[in-house]
Structure 1
């Protein structure tokens, strides 16, 4: 089975790199910035979704929907609680 290395596949690899980078950041950083963490995850999910639209895998597409929803929830929570930790 040969899988073409077309532009949707390259976009998907970039998305995978974003999600791996976000997980590494979460694991290795002494203190994380929620905007960096969740934005990177959201970008990764978006890029993988683009790839999955062209090379459909429904299970992975559903996973990316929830990954993006969780990242958006994290961004909204970070924005709503901004500045409250400083007091």
Structure 2
């Protein structure tokens, strides 16, 4: 059963990471932060019960930071906002005004 829980948590974190790297999900979006919060939270709880202290530190801190960011987005954001769309306004000086580009940033 432990392995299923670990795989489930890992899959959530990896889905967020993979979609962010492909430019399909912004690292500040609700979806990304929710996947990271839940996935790393599950892994942190599993590490606690397994007395895996290094893993607990990594996943616990990751989950706390993701949760704080998620709360911030939820308090500031609204449905359809940039933070929820997975896209961020383009910053290319040569791009016509109003164009969008994928928000690809190195993330976990």
Fold in common (TM above 0.5): yes
CA contact (8 A) 2:19 2:25 kept: no
CA contact (8 A) 1:35 1:78 kept: yes
Task: Name the Cα RMSD after superposition.
Answer: 2.0
Pair 51,30 (structure 1): closer, same or farther in 2 beyond 3 Å: closer
Structure 1 gap ranges (5+): 1-6
**Residue number among 64, 77, 95 corresponding to 1:82 in the alignment:** 77
Normalization by structure 1: what TM-score?
0.76
Larger radius of gyration: 2
Structure 2: 5+ residue runs without aligned partners? 83-108
TM-score, structure 2 as length reference: 0.63
Q: Which has the higher helix share?
A: 1
Count matched residues.
Answer: 79
Higher strand proportion (structure 1 or 2): 2
